[in-house]
Structure 1
Amino acid sequence: MNSQVQQDANNADDAADDKAGTADGDGGRYRREELARAAGVKVRNLRYYQERGLLPPPRREGRIAWYSDEHLGRLRLIDDLLGRGYTVNGIAELLQAWEEGGGLAQLLGLEREMTRDWVQEEPVTMTMAELREMFGPGGTAEDTRRAAELGYVRVDGDTVTHRSRRLLAATLTLVRQGVPMAEVLDAGAFVQAQAAAVADRFVGLFRTYVVGPDGLDRLSATQLRQITEAVAELRPVAGEVVTAEFARAMARRVDEEVASLLHTEHRTEQ
């Protein structure tokens, strides 16, 4: 259908819908404007999606086009994908690839389950003057710049936001104990690299033994649901393993350091 014919059809639909009235959608039945309003999109966007094949055609009663909850769900799915950075062409390809299996919604639900709740931090926002007062001479403009590069802070004009109240408190404790800020940031960069390696290992195990070699595109809705449940179980386990192993390593290292200090003290006394 060429663009002029499509436009004529759209105009005819609008006229019929206007004549039929504008009562709210009832029982999963929506006229064009009602559907657009329920989905939070503009009518012209709805038309565009329909022209591009992203939206199934409505059911018609005479000249009135009726849309359903299925259309509403599809529009919300399109909006979700657009918000994730997909292009309209990319969405069309995804929808085409998943049309028969009907698994796209489950896959997106799995993605949300995989990525939510891993980071539960309270950000702290302050002025640059308050930051300087907090750290005193222990923090410089160069330190702030590097902290921003490492992702610890975000600078917006004269306002600074630290992403984690707990990490901010830990940093402040170290600095007040005499550790230079540059050394704290070096340690932070090291921890980030090690944490990334641990995360890679966990994700690799999950990918190999839970998801399997075929990936997600051939999994049924039941299998996707099982993987979602596995992710929920993995989240606390991963944190507990890392915490426990770090505690053991710190205990061993502190014992070694104390023994070394005692040995040095004994030799000095002799």
Structure 2
Amino acid sequence: MSEAGNTDEGLLTIDELASAASTSVRTARYYASLGLLPPPERRGRLAFYDERHLAALQLVRALQEHGFSLADIQEYLERVPEGASADDLVIQRVMLTPWANARTETVTRSELDKRAGRKLTKAEVTWLTKMRAVRETDEGFELQMTFPITSQLLDLDIPRDAVLAADDLIGRHMDALSDELTELFRAQVLAPFRAQEHTDAERDRFEYSLGKLRQLTLEALVASFQRASNQAIVRALESR
């Protein structure tokens, strides 16, 4: 029998909590039993949940999207301040939301060939591993999110050592840029927001704005790289 009939505005039954988080009641109960959600408010035999429970449940799901195990999630949540508000948890979730599907997939050796669209040599598999597009495990080959792009590079008539060097160069710059942008967002976007009181509508709007900002950041990075490349071509022509 589902728990229903909540009388206080803002309180949710387990059914409503699961529905709001786009998960099943069984999953929500399981997470609660592991202590991944704060204790509910008890009224007799019924349990009620609020916006902080919802934010915590959504945070758990975001961590799973990053490939965290339940044990890792529990350890992560233990480091969250006990008095963290729903706003704090929402912001953490938005910051953790993958920019693309971060889930990996493990395939067999023959399936790896099918995904690459060709019969891969041992040397090509080694190269894909160095490019961090594939990771060999005891169960098979774990495809990383860059695999669809990287596998296409195998068909180009370009020295693979040069591609490896370019990948290393891009990786180092992207890591530094990502760290700097993250710190900038925390200091100049998130901190000012958290320092003030907000309505539910304002918080929803802020969450939407952060998601949109992520999309526009990706587009801006591509446009900036194109502009920089064009300028490099002009400089090279002028030097000749």
TM-score by length of 1: 0.56
Q: Verify the 8 A CA contact 1:124 1:164 in the aligned structure 2.
A: no
Tell me the alpha carbon deviations over residues 105-136 of structure 1, each in whole angstroms, 9 at most, x when there is no partner.
x3322233333352258978765462695565
Q: Percent identity, aligned pairs only?
A: 17
Kindly report which structure 2 residues correspond to 1:41-190, keeping only aligned pairs within 5 A, or say none: 41=29, 46=33, 54-56=38-40, 58-60=42-44, 65-70=45-50, 73=53, 77=57, 80=60, 83=70, 85-87=73-75, 90=78, 94=81, 96-98=82-84, 103-104=85-86, 106-116=87-97, 118-119=99-100, 127-128=108-109, 130=113, 133=118, 139-140=123-124, 142-147=126-131, 151-156=132-137, 157-159=139-141, 161-164=143-146, 166-168=148-150, 170-173=152-155, 176-177=156-157, 179-190=158-169
Q: Choose between structure 1 and 2: higher helix proportion.
A: 1
Residue 58 of structure 1 deviates from its aligned partner by: 2.0
Q: Verify the 8 A CA contact 1:152 1:163 in the aligned structure 2.
A: yes
1:220 pairs with 2:197 = yes
Q: Secondary structure at the match of 2:135?
A: strand
Q: Secondary structure at the match of 1:155?
A: strand
5+ residue gaps, structure 1, are: 1-22, 264-270
CA RMSD after TM alignment: 4.7
Partner of 2:21: none
Partner of 2:178: 199
Q: Secondary structure at the match of 2:136?
A: strand
Equivalent position amino acid for 1:115 in 2 = L
Q: Note closer, same or farther for the CA distance 1:26–1:245 as it changes in structure 2 (3 Å cut).
A: closer
Size of the aligned set, in residue pairs, is 210
Larger radius of gyration between Structure 1 and Structure 2: 1
TM-score by length of 2: 0.61
Q: Secondary structure at the match of 1:244?
A: helix
Q: Note closer, same or farther for the CA distance 1:221–1:204 as it changes in structure 2 (3 Å cut).
A: same
Partner of 2:4: 26
Residue 243 of structure 1 deviates from its aligned partner by: 1.3
Equivalent position amino acid for 1:192 in 2 = G
